[in-house]
Amino acid sequence: MQILEDPKPNDINCALEVLDLISDLSLPPIPNHHKLFLLVMQCPVTEAQSQTKWKASHLAMQGAYKGGGFKDAQNILIFLNHHLELAVGHGQSWDEPIQNALCALADTPDDVILEALKQFDPTTPSFVHSISYLFEGNRPLALREAALLFFSRICDRWFSTYSPIMDSTRMSNFVRGWAFTIEHLRPTHTTQKAALIIFLGMINSPHWYPYITPEKWILLEHYMLVPGNLWSVHRCINNPGLMDEARKVENPRAMVLWVETLWFNYAELVPRMKEKLRMVTEEIAQNERDIHLNASQSHIGRYLSHVNSELRKAEEALDKHTGGPDDLEAVPLEKKIRMLREAVRHLDTIRQGRTS
C-alpha cells in the first residue's frame, strides 16, 4: 500500500476502494492502520462522498485503536465528536466507533493529548452534553469504561472553569452516572486510577464538590495509583479548605483517608499545608493517647505503617535499577523515597508525642 508511505489527498478514492474490500473480508488489522486512518480523515471529500469517508474511517479506526500509541489525537477527537453528535443529536447508535475512539484516546501519550487540546475545546456545551450522554444509565458498561478512561485525561478542563460548566441538575446526574460506572466496573489499576483522578478534580472544584456523596471518599484508598506529576493533584492536596471539608463528611473514613493521602505526599505540600497537617495529626495522636488506644488500633500507627510500606516498595524497586545517568526510571523512585522518608520522620516524631 504505497499510498500509506506518502499519502496525498487524491489518494482517497484508492484508500476507500481498499477499505471497501476489507469490509467484506475477515482479515486482521491491516499494516500501517494508523497511517490509513489519518489518510482517510485528512482527505477532503465532497458532501456526496462524506458517508463513504466516514465508513472508511470506521474500518480504519477498528484496527488502529488496538495498536495504541497514536501520534495525532486531533483527528481522533474530530472522529469522536462527529459520532457523538450523530448519537446524541440524531438518536443513532454509534457505540462501536465511539468506544474505539475513546480507547484510542485513552492510550494516547499525554503530550499528544495536550497538543490536540490546543485546537479542540472539550468544554463547549455540545461536547459536554455528549460526554455526559456516555455516562447515562442505558449505555453499555464497556462504553462507560472507555468514557471513564478518556474523561480522566480531560477532566481538569471541566473542573477548573470559572463558572459551572452545566446546570445543577445535569451536574448531579453526571456525578451519579460516573459513580454508577465505577461501582459496576471490575476494579483494575487503570480504572481505579482514572476514577480517582476524576474524584480529586471534583472535590477540588467548588462547583462539583457539593455533588460528591460521602462513600466516594473511599476512592482515596487507591491514591498511590495516581502519578505524582499531575498538576491537578498538586493543586488538590494543597487546598487548605479540603481538610475542613473532609471533617464534615458523614463518612468518618473520609478524614482518615485524606490525612493519609497528604502524608503520602508530604514533601509536595506547601509550608502552610505541612504545618496544618502536622497540627491535625498531633491532635489525632493526642486524642488517641487520652483514650489509651494501642498502636495497632491508632490512626497514627496506620499512617506510619502504610507510608513505611510504600517506602519499602520504592526502595526494593530502586534496588533493581543501576542508578546510572541513563536509568530514567530510577530518578522518580529516588524522589519518591526522599518524600516518604521525610513523612516517616515527622510521623514518628508525632507518634512519640514530641513536637514536630
Which of 235, 320, 303, 316 is closest to 263 using CA atoms?
A: 303
Residue-wise over 128-162: b if at least 16 C-beta within 10 A, else e? bebbbbbbeeebeeebbbbbbbbbbbbbbbbbbee
Q: How far apart are CA 236 and CA 342, in angstroms?
A: 20
Q: What is the pLDDT of residue 293?
A: 65
Q: How far apart are CA 214 and CA 258, in angstroms?
A: 13
Which of 170, 155, 84 is closest to 123 using CA atoms?
A: 155
Residue 242 pLDDT > 60: yes
Q: Name the more confident of 20 and 103.
A: 103
Per-residue confidence band for 126, with pLDDT thresholds at 50, 70 and 90: very high
Overall average pLDDT of the 83-112 stretch: 86
Q: What is the pLDDT of residue 133?
A: 92
Report the length, in residues, of the chain: 356
Residue 102 pLDDT > 70: yes
283: Cβ contacts below 8 Å, ≥ 6 apart? none
Coil, helix or strand at residue 296? coil
Residue 37 pLDDT > 90: no
Least confident residue range of 184-198, 229-243, 270-284, 304-318: 229-243
Residue-wise over 325-341: b if at least 16 C-beta within 10 A, else e? eeeeebeebeebbebbb
Residue 200 pLDDT > 60: yes
Q: Work out the angle between the directed axes of helices 271-290 and 299-319 (0-180°, nearest 10).
A: 130
- Top mean pLDDT of 41-50, 198-207, 242-251 is at 198-207
- pTM of model > 0.85: no
Burial class for 241, CB neighbours closer than 10 Å (0-12, 13-18, 19+)? exposed
User: Tens digits of per-residue pLDDT, 131-165?
Assistant: 999 998 788 999 999 999 999 999 999 998 899 99
Least confident residue range of 52-66, 127-141, 267-281: 52-66
How high does pLDDT run on average in the chain?
A: 82
Per-residue confidence band for 192, with pLDDT thresholds at 50, 70 and 90: confident
User: Tens digits of per-residue pLDDT, 317-346?
Assistant: 888 876 666 677 788 888 889 989 999 999
For residues 353 and 285, is the Cβ–Cβ distance under 8 A?
A: yes
